[in-house]
Amino acid sequence: MLFLVGLVLLATAAMMLVPMAVDIYYGSEDWRAFALSLGLTVLIGGVLVHYSRRPLKVGLTIRQAFMLTPLSWLSVAVVSALPFFFSSFGSVSGHASNAFFEAVSGITTTGATVISGLDDAPPGMLLWRAILQWMGGIGIIATAIAILPALGIGGMQLFRTESSDRSEKAMPRVRQLATVIGLVYLGLTVLAAIVYWLAGMRLFDAAAHALTSIATGGYSTSDGSFGMWEENGIQWFATAFMLSGSIPFVVYVRFFAGESKALWDRQIKTMLAFISMVVLVLGLWLIFSERYGIEAAFRHAAFNVVSVVTTTGFATTDYSLWGNAVVGLFFGLTFVGGCTGSTSGGIKIFRFEVLAVMMKAHVMRLLYPNGVFSRTYGERVLDDEVIGSVAAFLTVFFLFYFVATISLMTFGLDFLTSASGAATALANVGPGLGDIIGPAGNFSTLPDGAKWILSISMLLGRLELFTVLILFVPRFWRG
C-alpha cells in the first residue's frame, strides 16, 4: 500500500511542474511555493517507494482496495495543499486549514473555495486548482469503475465489469479500457479548451475552465465564475461540456467501439429528462417573473441547473436572488448528482432509479398482496443485495448529512448556511446557499472547525462513505 501511495505522490509531484513553469513564464514569484512543495512531495514519495518496494502481485485484495482508496486520496490532498500553504497570496498563505480545505475541494471536484480575488491571483495557483480537479475527475472515474463495484458499495455491484475484476485474466482488458477512457477524458478536455478559446476566452482561461468543466469541478479563474463570459454562446457550450462530464465514461468507450445506441443508456435518458423538466419550469418562472428575456432566462436556467445537478458548481449569477421557491429548488438539486462512472458526485441517478423500482414494487404488493412483481433495472434483475446496498447508502448518507449540519451549527452558523454547506460538501457540488457561502460568496469566513468538518465531508462524499467507514470497524483489522 505504501509503495503504491508513493507512486501516486510522485505522479502528483510531476503535475506541480506545470503551474511552476507557468508562474516562471508570467514572472510570478509564487513559483517558489511550487518548487518547495514539489521537493517535499518527491522526498516523501521517493522514501515510500524506496523502502516499500516489493514484487507486486496482480490485482488487489478486498482489504487492500479498501485501504488504498482513502489512503491515496488523503495523501494526495495533503501534499496538494502545500503549494497553497507556501503561497504568498490570499487567505491560504500560511493557513493550514484553508490550504487543506482548498486542496480537498479541488481533488474531490467539489469546487468550494476560501480564496477571493481570483482575478488577481497568481496564474500558477489558478492552474493548480484546475489541475487538481482534473486529476480528481479521472481519479473518481477509475475508482467508480474498478474499485467500488468490486467492493459492492451503495449498489455499485450492479455495474461490475471486467474492469473491476482483480484476476490476472482480466488485466489486459482493464489496461485497454483505462487507456481508452483516459484518451476520451483528455480529448474532451482539449475540445472544451479549443471551443472556449474560439468563443472569446483568453487561452489561459480557456484551458483552466476546460480542465474543470470536464471534471465537473467548478473552480474558475474569476470571482464572477462564468458570469464573466456571456458572449458568443460560451455559457451554452459550458452547459454541454458539464453534461459530457456527467455521462458514464464507459458509454463513450462503447460508442466509439461501434455501439451507436450506447449514448442512450438508461441513466443518461433519466438524467436528461429530469434536467429538461426542471429547466423548462425554471425558465418559464424567470420569464413570467420578468427577470430575464426568453433566451437569457433559459440560458441561466439551463446553465445553473446543469451545474448543480452535475455537481460542477459554476454559476452565471446569484440564483439565490430568484426567490425563496428557487432557493428550495436548488437545495433539492444539490443531492441529485450525475451518472455512475462519470466525474459527478451526489447520490447518483441510478440510486434514485433503484429507489423508484423499490417503491413501485411495494405499492403493487399493497394493492395485490399475493402478486409476484419483478424488480428490474434495465435488463437486470435487482437482487436483495443491490437493493440493500442502495438502501444502506441512502440511510448513511442522510445520517451523515444530519450530523454534519448539526456540527456546523455548533459553530454559530445559521441553518441555511449549515444545511446547504453540509449538502454541498457531501454531494461535492461547490457553492452553498445564503449570503455567506452562496454563489456570490465563499467559505473563507467560516470558522476553522467548520472548514475541517466540511473537508472531511467532501472526502467522505467523494469516496461513497463506506470506503472510509469500513476502516473504523474492528473486524476489518482482525482478518
For the chain, give every domain's residue range.
373-478
pLDDT, residue 271, reads 94
Ranked by mean pLDDT, which of 143-157, 246-260, 269-283, 383-397 comes out on top?
A: 269-283
CB 145 within 8 A of CB 250: yes
Question: Three-class SS of residue 197?
Answer: helix
Radius of gyration of the chain (CA): 22
- pLDDT at site 265: 84
The C-alpha cell of 436 is what?
455567506
| C-alpha count within 13 angstroms, C-beta hemisphere, residue 449 | 11
The Cα-based distances of 31 to 42, 72, 81 in angstroms read 16, 26, 15
CA distance 412 to 282: 33
pLDDT for the residue 125: 95
Percent of the chain with pLDDT over 90: 61
pLDDT, one tens digit per residue, over 438-449 is 888 899 999 999
Taking the C-alpha atoms of residue 303 and residue 301, their distance in angstroms, rounded to an integer, is 6
Q: Of residues 385 and 430, which shows the higher confidence score?
A: 430
CA 341 distance to own-chain centroid: 11
DSSP string, 156-175: GGGG--GGG--SGGGHHHHH
Q: Report how far residue 387's alpha carbon sits from residue 211's, in angstroms, rounded to the nearest whole number.
A: 35
Give the model's pLDDT for residue 160: 60
- Secondary element (H or E) of residue 376: strand 376-377
Return the amino acid letter for 441. Answer: G
Q: How many CB atoms are closer than 10 A to CB 269?
A: 12
Helix (H) or strand (E) holding 114: none
Which pTM value belongs to this model?
0.91
More confident residue, 66 or 401: 401
Please provide the average confidence, as pLDDT, over all residues in the chain.
89
Residue 94 has pLDDT above 80, yes or no: yes
CB 101 within 8 A of CB 51: no
Specify the pLDDT at position 412.
93
